[in-house]
Structures are given as C-alpha cells and as structure tokens.
C-alpha cells in the first residue's frame, strides 16, 4: 500500500477524525504565507504590522495591509484540499476541523465544523466595546468604525504577542485528544490526494 492509500484506509476506518490545517493548505489557493517571498507588502514584514503595538501606532497603515490581504483572499477559491475536509465533515458526523488559517476558505468549501485558532480576517472586532461584526466588504472604508459605539474596529485575528482564544484552544485540545485519527494538513496537495 502506498502512504496515500494507507492514510485513505485509516480515514475510512476512523469514527472521530480531527484535522489541523495551516498556511500550506491555503498556499494551494494562491494565498501567500506573508512570511516568504511574494508575501511582502510595501517592504513591511508581517511582524511589523500584525501586532497590537503597530495597530496602536498607526491603525490606518495596519488596516491598509489587511484590506490588501482581504482583496487577495476574496479572489481566491477553495482548493481540493479544502474540499476533501468538507467531504469528510459530511461522511463523519463527529469530525472537527481546527485551522490556523484566517482566510475563511474552509467555509468557502462549505465546511461548518471549523475551529479558528487565529480568528478570521472577515470578522471585525471593536476596540471599545465587546462587539464583533462579520464584514466582507472589499475594500473597506478605512479605518472601519463600530456601527454600535463608533469605536475603532480591528481585524478579528490573533496578532503576534497575543494569546489564542482560550475557549477555542480548550475545545481544540479536547477534540484532538478524543480523536481516533489526527490529520495534520500540512499541504493541500496531500489532502487532495485523499479525495
Ligand atoms: Zn463598539
């Protein structure tokens, strides 16, 4: 049996599979990781923009970068790696997907049981009140303001130096422990091979 066939058989036999995906799965959709070549914007490193300090210093600049990224992501399509995981959700009622990606492409492939460890770029969070908003406008009016209190909105993603959302992290740990198969989706190509 080839490694792919073997993994396919293990997926078939499992009752409670769980998958973890990261940048490699989105890369197949043409989304740069923002860490290597092609990911740079105006010569800024992500570490210079995706931090609470950068946002406090210059929210408009940080928002311009996120708006640019949202524009790229809006044009991207889910790929066979995403489709495989969406199909798995239909076949296995106890399947859960944990992702580090913020692009929402799993949802575009119609995955519903998704835990987002790093948040979602389409969600905006108020810095003055506890409200969240789903906003898929491209481009956004910058900087976006909270419709409820007028406060400054920030991207609903986890930045460098911030902790992961505790509830999501706890739930992810529980699911990973309970799972009878843990799939690390390092690349979309490998997952697509399981389709
Ligand atoms: Zn608000």
Q: What is the DSSP letter of 121?
A: E
Q: Could you tell me the distance, in angstroms and rounded to a whole number, from the CA of residue 149 to the centre of ligand 1? A: 4
pLDDT at 110: 96
Let me know if residue 112 belongs to a domain: yes
Q: Could you tell me the distance, in angstroms and rounded to a whole number, from the CA of residue 153 to the centre of ligand 1? A: 7
CB 55 within 8 A of CB 124: no
Average pLDDT of the chain, as a whole number: 93
Q: How many domains does the chain contain in total?
A: 1
Let me know if residue 76 belongs to a domain: yes
Let me know if residue 89 belongs to a domain: yes
C-alpha R_g of the chain: 18
Range of the domain at 104: 22-192
Is a pLDDT exceeding 70 seen at residue 136?
yes
Distance CA 40, CA 24 (A): 17
Query: Which CATH number fits the domain that encloses residue 183?
Result: 3.30.1600.10
Q: Could you tell me the distance, in angstroms and rounded to a whole number, from the CA of residue 123 to the centre of ligand 1? A: 13
Is a pLDDT exceeding 60 seen at residue 36?
no
Let me know if residue 150 belongs to a domain: yes
CA distances, 36 to each of 45, 73, 103, 153 (Å): 9, 17, 18, 28
pLDDT at 80: 94
Let me know if residue 17 belongs to a domain: no
Residues designated as active site: 118
């Amino acid at each position: 049996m080839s490694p792919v066939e073997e993994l396919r058989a293990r997926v078939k036999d499992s009752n409670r599979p769980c998958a973890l995906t990261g940048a490699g799965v989105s890369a197949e959709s043409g989304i740069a990781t923002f860490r290597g070549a092609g990911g740079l914007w105006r010569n800024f490193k992500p570490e210079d923009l995706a931090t609470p300090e950068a946002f406090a210093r210059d929210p408009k600049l940080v928002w311009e970068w996120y708006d640019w990224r949202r524009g790229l992501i809006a044009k991207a399509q889910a790929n066979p790696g995403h489709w495989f995981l969406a199909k798995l959700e239909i076949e296995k009622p106890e399947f859960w997907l944990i992702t580090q990606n913020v692009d929402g492409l799993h949802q575009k492939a119609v995955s519903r049981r998704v835990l987002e460890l790093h948040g979602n770029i389409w969600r905006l969070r108020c810095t003055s009140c506890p409200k969240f908003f789903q906003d898929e406008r491209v481009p956004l009016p910058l900087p976006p303001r909270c419709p409820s209190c007028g406060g400054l909105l920030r991207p609903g993603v986890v930045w460098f130096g911030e902790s992961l959302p505790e509830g999501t992290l706890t739930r992810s740990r529980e699911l990973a422990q309970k799972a009878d198969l843990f799939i690390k989706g390092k690349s979309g190509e490998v997952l697509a091979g399981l389709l």
